[in-house]
Amino acid sequence: MELKYTMGIDVGSTASKCVIVKDGKEIAATSLVHAGAGSSGPAKAIKEVLEKAGLQEADLSYILATGYGRHQLPIARSQMSELSCHAKGAYELFPDVRTVIDIGGQDAKVLRISAGGNLDNFVMNDKCAAGTGRFLEVMARILEVDISQMAEFSRQSAKRVDISSTCTVFAESEVISQLAGGSDKCDILKGIHRSVAGRVSGLVRRVGVVNTVVMTGGVAQNSGVREALEEELKTTIVTSPLAQYTGALGAALFAYQKCIKEGNMDVTANER
């Protein structure tokens, strides 16, 4: 029986991610380019993932797109919302997931997954940067640290500093005041993480906290935010090194499902 390779592309606001899945079971390759919708990012990500998998585009049985920029990809046969794809991908990585927290570059979402792995309910954040990756970027810039260092620094915090504003602009002003007043960067960073956790936990409570709680999306790599969320929600939150690929993984799996359902309509793959 011929192998079916399907690809999921997740084009977010700040990054393009691709996952190729073999027979709907095994991840063959992944790629990530830090350029999102409307840029050369998607094309680069597609090229990279094909190279890594040792495949050509024609070897793929189905390509499905998700994410903010999913409607601008003619290469994809169909597209699905990142909500459904994150649900699918999270369920694949963690079969007992019931709540997904996805903090991306521009928005935050919380998903309720049923026992059977279906998307049951969801909530997305208001039109606001606070509680998203954008907020953390702004803060990293002010504190002159690299985003990848934020968690490590915040772990060294010894004194509690609160950043209470819900508005990013006001919060910026608070952070600057703290710095000017001599507060320690580490303490401020912990406060920032707590602030993001506070914002996101409000969303989580609207959906309800049901274990297992999984964090996906770019910000999942920031253990500072994850730990602050655990503290806030009083529950363990798990994540995977594949956190940022969850949407693309879900898309690749949906692609496989559609492929089986519609029969292999990719004549070129058969002919090869």
Where does this chain bind another protein (CB under 8 A)? Answer: 68, 80-84, 107, 118-122, 124, 126-127, 164-167, 170, 173-174, 176-177, 198, 202, 205-206
Least Å from the CB of residue 45 to another protein: 19
Choice between 5 and 254, CB closer to another protein: 254
- Between residues 91 and 122, which has the closer beta carbon with respect to another protein? 122
Q: How far apart are CA 120 and CA 254, in angstroms?
A: 17
Measured from the CB atom, the residue of 58 and 176 that comes closer to another protein is: 176
User: Would you say 54 or 116 has its CB closer to another protein?
Assistant: 116
Residue entry with tokens 């910000």:
219
Residues 9/12/16/18 CA torsion (nearest 10 deg): -30
Q: Which bin fits 119, alpha (ψ -120 to 50), beta or left (φ > 0)?
A: beta
Q: How far is the CB of 164 from another protein (least distance, A)?
A: 6
Rounded to a whole number of angstroms, the minimum distance from the CB of residue 55 to another protein is: 29
CB of 12 to another protein, least distance (A): 11
Element (H, E) at 18: strand 16-22
User: 191-221 b/e with 16+ CB inside 10 Å = b?
Assistant: bbbbbbbbbbbbbbeebebeebbbbbbbbbb
